Amino acid sequence: MKTFLNITYGILIGLLAAGVIWFATSRPRGIPVTLLPTPTPGILTIYVSGAVATPGVYMLQAGSRVEAAIQAAGGFASGAESEQINQAALLQDGQQVDVPGVVDTGHINAGRVNINTATVLELDALPAIGPTTAQSIVDYRLQHGSFQFVQDIQNVPGIGPATYARIKDYITIGP
């Protein structure tokens, strides 16, 4: 009986060993699964300049269009020639979007407002300038004459260094 058990155990161990060898040497079935990293949207760095409310460098999602860059810059400034820009174009990293401005009014020059000739409405279109401050600029100009330097706009009541910092890239004193 003991011999019978030894033979049975031997056969079982042999079958098990054969199965392990067969499994280890057999060719894989199917195609191995490759896990891909989770896609993360890229970031584009875009420079928006010209006749927009707040020119500057903006970070946008890859796949964004020119329209998104203009919106990130606060939208079109007064006098912007929006029809000259293809707002549906895809953006590329490092691209500059330059929005041209109307020059023929004499008040807007490449997106800048001439603070010596602009109307209340044109001044009101500047960032951080509302209708009351725009009227104050016109009143100051009438009382004191033309601004000699762009920085002189800080002499207008209600325009301090913080407001000046927000509008300095959008204003000019000459053509």
- Please tell me the distance from the alpha carbon of residue 157 to that of residue 103, in angstroms, as a whole number: 29
For 15-29, 58-72, 147-161, which range has the lowest pLDDT when averaged over its residues?
15-29
Host H or E run for residue 96? strand 96-99
Which pLDDT score is estimated for 64?
94
Alpha carbon 134 to its chain's center: 29
Asked if residue 62 has pLDDT above 80, the reply is yes
**% the chain with pLDDT above 90:** 39
Which pLDDT score is estimated for 105?
45
Asked if residue 39 has pLDDT above 70, the reply is no
> CB of 54 within 8 A of CB of 125?
no
CATH class of 40-101: alpha beta
Q: Does domain 103-175 have CATH number 1.10.150.320?
A: yes
**DSSP result, 122-141:** HHHTSTT--HHHHHHHHHHH
> What's the DSSP call for residue 163?
H
> CB of 113 within 8 A of CB of 173?
no
> CB of 130 within 8 A of CB of 124?
yes
Asked if residue 30 has pLDDT above 50, the reply is yes
Which pLDDT score is estimated for 102?
56
Mean pLDDT of all residues in the chain?
84
**Domain residue extents for the chain:** 40-101, 103-175
> CB of 78 within 8 A of CB of 113?
yes
pTM: 0.42
- Please tell me the distance from the alpha carbon of residue 65 to that of residue 71, in angstroms, as a whole number: 10
